[in-house]
């Protein structure tokens, strides 16, 4: 049975839309854990568009499962991770203009740079995961820089329009998972996963954890809306 890490960045995005206090990602973290999630995932972006430094420090205090901190592969971000000491760090590519993390980290093409960040984190005893495309060269490069885990980017699989295309992307992920497992890395997967498309990926035995955000938060808005309106209606009438 695979583990579920829940990404709560979107809760912070909603809060930042008004610049106030609601909804608080810390409250979300408590509920996510109560519901049985195995871990929390947050991405501290360079532009701080959703999760803030204060959220991160407080989450580190209250999370009782595992806190996986996603950061760009920059020394300045690694230093923040060293001061917070999350249970894991996942290195992701980061571009300011992107809506969300597009594509995996280019490990093969910048091995030295990634190696430096991995070493920094390892020196403090923090396990490192690299968010990569399900590409065999990237998996080999991740192994070379001593990553403990890879997180396979499932975006292309999730966006496949035709079943033939989805079949091909599924196979690519399965092969990447096999290789990563064979060389001794843990295998996670995430991005764009939904209540519809995740089921097939659970058939890949090497994947031990799915990290899912948008679909869960989107569903929470809908399944929680009825109760929220009923409670307000009661208050005003
Ligand atoms: N894993 C990583 C490394 C990510 O960057 C993201 C998106 O922030 C996710 C998982 C979750 O993706 P989604 O919100 O599409 O479920």
Among 14, 40, 100, which is best to mutate for testing ligand 1, by the most ligand atoms less than 8 A from CB?
100
What angle, 0 to 180 degrees and rounded to 10, lies between the N-to-C axes of helices 136-144 and 111-123?
50
pTM of the model: 0.96
Between the CA of 126 and the centroid of ligand 1 the distance, in Å, is 20
Q: How many domains does the chain have?
A: 1
Say how far apart CA 140 and CA 143 lie, in whole Å: 5
Residues 207 and 177 sit within 8 Å (Cβ to Cβ): yes
Q: Please work out whether the CB of residue 150 comes within 6 Å of at least one atom of ligand 1.
A: no
Average pLDDT, the chain: 96
Q: Please work out whether the CB of residue 7 comes within 6 Å of at least one atom of ligand 1.
A: yes
Indicate which residues carry an active-site annotation.
43, 70, 191
pLDDT band for 118, please (50, 70, 90 cuts): very high
Q: Please work out whether the CB of residue 190 comes within 6 Å of at least one atom of ligand 1.
A: yes
Residues 33 and 64 sit within 8 Å (Cβ to Cβ): yes
Q: Rounded to whole angstroms, what are the CA distances from 68 to 44, 71, 89?
A: 11, 10, 6
Average pLDDT over residues 157-178: 97
Reported as type and span, the H/E element at residue 3 is strand 3-7
User: For residue 27, what is the domain's CATH number?
Assistant: 3.20.20.70
Give me the long-range contacts of 33-37 (CB less than 8 A, separation at least 24): 33/63, 33/64, 33/65, 36/4, 37/4, 37/5, 37/6, 37/65
Say how far apart CA 204 and CA 173 lie, in whole Å: 9
Radius of gyration of the chain from Cα atoms?
18
Q: In terms of residue numbers, what domain contains 184?
A: 3-236
Joined tokens for residue 28 = 């979300």
Ligand 1 atom 6 nearest Cα:
191
Residue 102 has pLDDT above 90, yes or no: no
- Index of the ligand 1 atom closest to the CA of residue 5: 10
Residue 184 has pLDDT above 90, yes or no: yes
Task: State the pLDDT at residue 94.
Answer: 80
Residue 101 has pLDDT above 90, yes or no: no
Ligand 1 atom 1 nearest Cα:
190
| Tens digits of residue pLDDT in 52-84 | 999 999 999 999 999 999 999 999 999 999 999
- Index of the ligand 1 atom closest to the CA of residue 188: 1
Q: Rounded to whole angstroms, what are the CA distances from 105 to 87, 135, 174, 176?
A: 20, 11, 19, 15
Average pLDDT over residues 43-60: 97
Residues of the chain with pLDDT > 70: what percent?
97
Average pLDDT over residues 8-15: 98
Among 213, 214, 216, 217, which is best to mutate for testing ligand 1, by the most ligand atoms less than 8 A from CB?
213
Joined tokens for residue 212 = 């899912």
Residues 69 and 78 sit within 8 Å (Cβ to Cβ): no
Task: State the pLDDT at residue 225.
Answer: 97
Among 7, 38, 201, which is best to mutate for testing ligand 1, by the most ligand atoms less than 8 A from CB?
7
pLDDT band for 100, please (50, 70, 90 cuts): low
Ligand 1 atom 9 nearest Cα:
191
Q: Please work out whether the CB of residue 90 comes within 6 Å of at least one atom of ligand 1.
A: yes
- Index of the ligand 1 atom closest to the CA of residue 193: 16
């Amino acid at each position: 049975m695979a583990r579920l890490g829940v990404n709560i960045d979107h809760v912070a995005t909603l809060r930042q839309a008004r610049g106030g206090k609601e909804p608080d990602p810390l409250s979300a973290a408590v509920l996510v854990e109560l519901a049985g999630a195995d871990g929390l995932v947050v991405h501290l972006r360079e532009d701080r568009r959703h999760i803030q430094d204060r959220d991160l420090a407080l989450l580190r205090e209250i999370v009782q499962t595992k806190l996986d901190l996603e950061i760009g592969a920059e020394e300045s971000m690694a230093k923040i991770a060293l001061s917070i000491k999350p249970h894991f760090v996942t290195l992701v590519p980061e571009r300011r203009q992107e809506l969300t993390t597009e594509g995996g980290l280019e490990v093969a093409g910048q091995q030295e740079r990634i190696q430096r960040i991995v070493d920094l984190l390892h020196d403090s005893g923090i396990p490192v995961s690299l968010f990569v495309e399900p590409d065999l060269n990237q998996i080999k490069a991740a192994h070379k820089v001593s990553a403990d885990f890879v997180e396979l980017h499932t975006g292309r699989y999730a966006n496949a329009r035709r079943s033939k295309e989805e079949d091909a992307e599924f196979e690519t992920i399965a092969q990447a998972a096999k290789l990563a497992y064979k060389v001794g890395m843990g295998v996670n997967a995430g991005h764009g996963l939904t209540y519809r498309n995740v089921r097939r990926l659970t058939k890949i035995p090497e994947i031990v954890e799915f990290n899912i955000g948008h679909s869960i938060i989107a569903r929470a808005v809908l399944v929680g809306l009825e109760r929220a309106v009923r409670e307000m209606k009661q208050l005003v009438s």
